Structure 1
Amino acid sequence: MDNENLLQLEGAVENIVYRNEENGYTVIEISDGDDYITAVGIMPQANVGDTVKLTGVYTNHRNYGRQFSAQICEICRPTESADILRYLSSGAIKGIGASTAQRLVSEFGEATLDVMETQPERVALIKGISKSKALDFANQLKTNTGVRTLMLYLGEYGISNTSAVKIYNALGSGCVDRIRENPYILCQGDFGVSFESADFIAKKESLEPESGVRLRAGITYILRHNERNGHTCLPKEKLVAISADFLNVGVDRINDCMEEMLFDRSLIGETFDETEFVFTPQLHLSEMYVSSRIKMLLKFPAEKIKDIDKEIEYCEKTDGITYADLQKQAINSALTEGMLVLTGGPGTGKTTTLNAIIKILKDKGKKVLLSAPTGRAAQRMSELTGDEAKTLHRLLEVSWDKHDNPVFNKNERNQLKCDALIVDEVSMVDTFIFESVMRALPLGCRLVLVGDSDQLPSVGPGNVLGDLIESGIIPVVRLNEIFRQAQQSLIVTNAHKIVNGEMPVLSNTDKDFFFLQKNNKSDVTNVIVDLCVSRLPKAYGYSAFDNIQVLSPSKKGELGTAELNFKLQNALNPKSDDKQEVTIGSKTFRTGDKVMQIKNNYDIRWFKDNGETGEGIFNGDIGIIEKIDKKVKIIKISFYDKTAAYTYESASDLDFAYAVTVHKSQGNEFDAVIIPMFQGPPQLYYRNLLYTAVTRAKKTLILVGNPYTVEYMVNNNRRTKRYSGLKEFLLRDDGLY
């Protein structure tokens, strides 16, 4: 479209007809004096009361008629008294209603906004406005101006307005100038901006490709990107090679820059077994702290419980059971040592052992706290022990700072009040949350860590459980005997076969582990849908929403979660006139959908039936959409123990959960699990992933597909290498142990 054909239109925004929070597409009504005009375009910054200058053309929509299609939207600060009054009366500034707006404009006229922003002391002289309110008004005006300026600047580079608000909140006024000087600050926070986007801005701002700010940012970005793959550090040689390739810069220049960063401690170097490793300062401090704290707990253990053999005999008598030798060893270690790692597969008696430890400690008057990483895992721990178990975040009394980082009220200055802490599902615990646990744990408190070391490691950085076990300095008891009752379960016996590299029994049809052979992907999909819709509900009374879970190794492909979710949503919760729908990004959600939170969101408010309220829905939480309220743009979702209200913006972190990846299922158990078995990439089809998937099933497990894929996964014993420093720090002789 030729620029000479573009028109300009200026007016006051009277109404927001529609806004897509995901992409900023907005329909507004503006008044240009005598008439109302409908305008459409990418205008996320436009609000009721604003004066806007639009550049675009008039078009005729087949349904909505004549409207102005805006290519550019500029927010104009109102200058006329009447426009200022309308702007302030619109609610654009919190705390100012119609009467306050009238008093302000009557006093300051056309200078009202300038006075409010630069001379709040004069505003405070008006009746009913305190000094603190006047300062708040000034800050809001500055923020509104700053945010809009930033949105316009970043919008040219395709960066969303949601990210712009986060960036402004973190960097404050003058952030556009700061970004122009160093665009790479955009990819150094949790702003949703990639290095590639920052690099594009840098080129536009004429920054040199080999500039120090670019190389430093690129090296740090690679380290932080690898944190998402579970690494707390990388070998220096590997980091140099990756950085040189990623930044398209010579190895020598990268080496020089990295040496500068190591010298000024922007990065931290360590040598393990003659290999140099590089950490970010945050993760280096985290692993060092965990190591030192563990050594202190071992050096100053809790007081030993006496007459343990008699206590064990008493438990056996009252509960009518006989503990195996390894169970007795675990009970003894938990009651005599400062720490214990209790590990073992399904059916090996971890829960029975745990209950004995809890019973003896409570009989001795000790206060015992129970915890697990996720809500589902904590709920299951409560059911199995009969005692309340809290999530680690709840146990540590989490709150959130202005940048959405977790802040724990329980820490080294306000430690937990307990004699023993027992944490289940420790394989899921990453370095950062484990550091927070260690900070909150008082000396003299017992720490019992329970987990299955053969399951997948944590989603976050670190290999906490593996490093603790491999260090050899902490008492570890591995339960390996499958008890008689568990032997009746083919799920349990096959899980142990898988982890030992043996082919599971696939031919049995009268137990709880089934294999349905299908030789093409289309048939596999059809069988999975039929199992969820008809066969399992009829045979067992299972609900596809509450009891059945499809687990796939992959997100992509015909048997990946994306495609399976599409098919399962259409089959289980089809479109109908009585169901509300909303499209968020590429996904159309409707009432009744089964959904999962795919990243931590610390701002979402929730409430329970007992009146308890709080904030925070976490990665992996599964719920059902109860209601979609289009008027207030809220999605109400019921989780297993609470209900949460999502804005459309926060709903961008939701995905369908009819099928989820095995990684996302960690910490959860389901009555029935269905797993597609068809060849895929080796990095996703390996033994421990199959083992983890199988052990998610409580009552029924069904594999659908090709037996050769099962055999391939059992034989593929590759484990993704995780670089971490905790084991080495634990083994280091630093005088603490």
Structure 2
Amino acid sequence: MPNHELNMEDVGKRVEKISLVVSRVIFEKNDFAIYACEGDISVKGNSVNGVAACGQTIEVSGEVDTYGRTIQVKADYIAIVQNQESAEALISSFLMECFEGIGQRIANLLAKQYKDDVVNQLKVNPEKVANSISGLSLKRTRMVQEEIDRKCGYYEELLKLRILGLSVSQSKKALEFLGFLAYEQVKKNPYLLIQVPTIGFTICERLAKNCEMDFFDQYRFAGAIEATLSLLHSETGNMYFSLQQLRAATWRVLFDEGNTCCQSCDRKLICECDVSKCEMFESAFVSALELERSRGEVAVYRIDEANFCRKCEITEKDARIALGIYYACEINIKKEITRFVQAKTQPLDEKRVEDAFLKISNSYGISVDSKQIEAFKMCIHSPISIVTGGPGTGKTTVVGILAEHLRREKIEVKYCAPTGRAAKRLAEVVGEKVLTIHKLLETVIPDEDNESKTFFGRNSDDPIDARVVIVDEASMIEAKLFRALLDAIRPDASIILIGDPNQLPSVGPGNILADLLSCQLIPRVELEYVYRQKNESSIAANAYRVLNSKKLISNNDDFTLMSFNNDCDAYKAVIDTYTKMLEDTPDVAIISPTRLNLLGTRELNSGIQDVFAKKSPGNVVKASGQSFRIGDRVMQVKNDYRTEFFDSSENAMTKGLFNGEIGEVLSLDILDNGLVVSFDDKNVSYQKNRLQDLELAYAMTVHKAQGCEFDNVIIALGKMNYRLMNRKLFYTAITRSKKRIVVIEISGTLEKILRSTTEYKRQTSLGDMLQSIKEKNTKSRYSRNQREMELSDEKDPRAIN
């Protein structure tokens, strides 16, 4: 099939099912790929039948654009042309990718001669193969044979999976996951691969079609349920779902491409809430859910009248359904919290503890109130304690004095926070080294594409070496990470959580701080007196006015409101205000609830960057649709546990970059399309393939800004989803500023937010489970090895007074 020719005159036009020959696969992930094609044309988009190999012909539909000096088709349709030539091109590409020394000409001849039996022939008949292919030496053939023999069946399976429809990298991961009989397992049940990194439900669906699997096959529905639950947990932050929620969401996943359930059903006529009326769907759905439960992948349970967790039937009223890992997570957190709560403590010497607090506060000239003293006593005495409060209520004061007390008493303590920025802020308060929770737990992820395989170096077998663990920004901790943290706290240690329950919950599933606060047996002190308000801070005052749906105070000093009739004027005001603020301090951030639209983070970041580019034009590094220049503020948007760098604060080589860390582009490598970013005490090199882990960070979403503080903050309120018009989200944005806030809105947006009744409600079972905890016993059983500790005549090793 001839290669279609495009030129610059075609830019801006749409093409329909043109034929192009792939010369190189530049990038591939799942079914998305960027191809270099013959004729100096690039194509990017999702393929309907897998990632193409070099030499294969693809049909492409989409808009013609440019990328640098190259013509690029932004495709909404890519399909590999299926014919004999295409099959041979795939095998040829496979041989070049897997065996060193096999070039394109030899690979083409081998594929044409031996087709899908080529690996077997290279293994059993190397002499025959060498004699039949011009230019292929017996020495080279023997070397390939040795490689095939060394891996004992590996390449045969790999080729079968490649022909079935997986890319080579996906085939390797499938083999790693399923073993050397992967091909037969995948043919029987392609949905086994849902748990394999880079292979999702869509790819499994394509493989199922290739294997001619029945639409109502139990394995298909089981795969859909698992994929649906994973998606729901991630998108909603919920820890469980009702049968009705799961059923409707599974329907959407299965019929996303407009499939019809059966001849008597028209998807358009069936409301999602009535999907149970389709008998064929319901039968397959319930059967598959039972299969997933029996395999331990899914948990089905209910909370009984005494708030205990009980297994139940799928169709039982109030049944809760979750992936097994999230169910186990809440169960284990409840067990750990029970041991903390039931640990026996000795009477507190209140006067001695209060004197210690006042001695430190007086030495620093700090005014304190009775609530802060109460919080200090609680932290000293209780195995687990929570200090809460909004902005300006003195949480920082309590933590600072507590840190000084622990230092004077020579008590081992570890400080941590969910993000790097929050850890840095806490370090300034306590005067000690503060780590992210991931770093404290010595987190390792063997496969960056699969964070579910996370390994924590610190755990119950090798716990954190401290008698006290203090955690700041507790509202941001997701459930799985909190479980790992509790598991790593040694039996004689205590934990102190600091946080603001009015801020947003964690990005990941769970609502840990709110669930813990629902348990009345967990000691807590809420700090209420607003010191910043006493000092005439409009920021703190307005933060509380947001929570109470009251009109905000604009004094043009530390809190300014600017309203515009359209987003263009508002956009210009944000850009102008940002550049003007930078003249006074570099610590300025733009915060928007959304990434989308003109007042979203993408457009604002692009606009700010353009302003700086005009003032100081220079070289640019481009990758993943982004441009980076020297001086750009950037954010790491993915946890990276492997990259090594020199950390000047530790004076040593170390590892670990975490989602949310903010830095500045220090230098560019134009030849290799890389760059160096300065993050506080470390400089990190980024190669081209890792630039997708960076985003511009002049503007950031509220979720990304959480845990950070800036001197000056601009809040941009434009068009957004109604769910983002949320008082808790706006409150979180306001509390990111220390000195000044400018709110820039499209007229009426702020009023809608203040009137909003939308809440961040999450479905979690932990809060219910914690209600079943009984009062502490005279005999305490709190050690993780279930060893009963008799403490009637002993001082509780968790107490630190």
Fold shared per TM-score above 0.5:
yes
Question: Which residue identity does 1:199 align to in structure 2?
Answer: E
Distance 1:85 1:264, change over 3 A: closer
Partner of residue 241, structure 1: 248
Give, in whole Å, the separation in 1 of the partners of 2:505 and 2:227: 23
- Offset, 1:735: 9.7
Asked if 1:418 is matched to 2:469, the reply is: no
Asked if 1:492 is matched to 2:535, the reply is: no
Question: Which residue identity does 1:658 align to in structure 2?
Answer: Y
Check whether the contact 1:604–1:646 (CA below 8 A) recurs between aligned residues: no
Partner of residue 298, structure 1: 341
Partner of residue 727, structure 2: 687
Distance 1:375 1:717, change over 3 A: same
- Offset, 1:106: 14
Partner of residue 696, structure 1: 736
Give, in whole Å, the separation in 1 of the partners of 2:392 and 2:707: 17
Partner of residue 360, structure 2: 315
Partner of residue 608, structure 1: 647
What secondary structure is seen at the aligned counterpart in 1 of 2:241?
A: strand
Pick one of 9, 25, 50 that aligns with 2:35.
25
- Offset, 1:76: 6.8
Give, in whole Å, the separation in 1 of the partners of 2:463 and 2:182: 38
Partner of residue 113, structure 1: 143
Asked if 1:185 is matched to 2:216, the reply is: no
Partner of residue 786, structure 2: none
Check whether the contact 2:591–2:700 (CA below 8 A) recurs between aligned residues: yes
Partner of residue 128, structure 1: none
Give, in whole Å, the separation in 1 of the partners of 2:565 and 2:343: 60
Give, in whole Å, the separation in 2 of the partners of 1:390 and 1:417: 14
Q: Structure 2 matches for 1:313-712, cutoff 5 A?
A: 313-402=358-447, 403=450, 405-483=453-531, 487-506=535-554, 508-509=555-556, 511-533=557-579, 535-538=580-583, 540=584, 542-543=585-586, 547-574=587-614, 578-584=618-624, 586-609=625-648, 611-706=651-746, 708-712=748-752
Q: Structure 2 matches for 1:123-162, cutoff 5 A?
A: 138=151, 142=154, 153-154=164-165
Partner of residue 216, structure 1: 222
**Stretch moving more, 197-206 or 717-726:** 197-206
Structure 1 regions of 5+ residues with no counterpart? 29-37, 44-51, 58-62, 65-69, 89-104, 121-137
Check whether the contact 1:269–1:277 (CA below 8 A) recurs between aligned residues: yes
- Offset, 1:588: 3.2
Distance 1:617 1:670, change over 3 A: same
- Offset, 1:421: 0.8
Give, in whole Å, the separation in 1 of the partners of 2:175 and 2:536: 60
- Offset, 1:327: 1.0
Identity %: 26
Distance 1:42 1:346, change over 3 A: closer
Check whether the contact 1:516–1:705 (CA below 8 A) recurs between aligned residues: yes
Distance 1:7 1:53, change over 3 A: farther
Check whether the contact 1:302–1:445 (CA below 8 A) recurs between aligned residues: no
Give, in whole Å, the separation in 2 of the partners of 1:601 and 1:197: 26
**Stretch moving more, 303-312 or 454-463:** 303-312
Give, in whole Å, the separation in 2 of the partners of 1:357 and 1:452: 18
**Stretch moving more, 175-184 or 516-525:** 175-184
Distance 1:186 1:648, change over 3 A: farther
Cα offsets for 1:90-116 (capped at 9, x unmatched): xxxxxxxxxxxxxxx999724423442
Check whether the contact 1:675–1:702 (CA below 8 A) recurs between aligned residues: yes
Distance 1:635 1:397, change over 3 A: same
Question: Which residue identity does 1:109 align to in structure 2?
Answer: K
- Offset, 1:732: 2.3
What secondary structure is seen at the aligned counterpart in 2 of 1:234?
A: coil
**Stretch moving more, 340-349 or 660-669:** 660-669
Cα offsets for 1:249-293 (capped at 9, x unmatched): 623432333234334533212212662111211111111111111
Check whether the contact 2:459–2:488 (CA below 8 A) recurs between aligned residues: yes
Check whether the contact 2:550–2:754 (CA below 8 A) recurs between aligned residues: yes
- Offset, 1:705: 2.0
Give, in whole Å, the separation in 2 of the partners of 1:291 and 1:347: 32
Pick one of 286, 295, 299 that aligns with 2:329.
286
Check whether the contact 1:25–1:41 (CA below 8 A) recurs between aligned residues: yes
Distance 1:472 1:85, change over 3 A: same
Cα offsets for 1:375-433 (capped at 9, x unmatched): 11001000012122111111111222245532111100001121111100011100111
Partner of residue 46, structure 1: none
Asked if 1:718 is matched to 2:758, the reply is: yes
Give, in whole Å, the separation in 1 of the partners of 2:164 and 2:534: 62
Partner of residue 75, structure 1: 93
- Offset, 1:436: 0.8
What secondary structure is seen at the aligned counterpart in 1 of 2:562?
A: strand
Distance 1:210 1:505, change over 3 A: same
- Offset, 1:83: 5.4
Give, in whole Å, the separation in 2 of the partners of 1:666 and 1:631: 36
- Offset, 1:576: 7.5
Give, in whole Å, the separation in 1 of the partners of 2:775 and 2:328: 18
Partner of residue 210, structure 2: 204
- Offset, 1:225: 0.9
- Offset, 1:147: 6.1
- Offset, 1:501: 2.3
Give, in whole Å, the separation in 2 of the partners of 1:162 and 1:107: 28
Give, in whole Å, the separation in 2 of the partners of 1:573 and 1:236: 53
Asked if 1:232 is matched to 2:239, the reply is: yes
Check whether the contact 1:487–1:493 (CA below 8 A) recurs between aligned residues: no
Distance 1:652 1:312, change over 3 A: closer
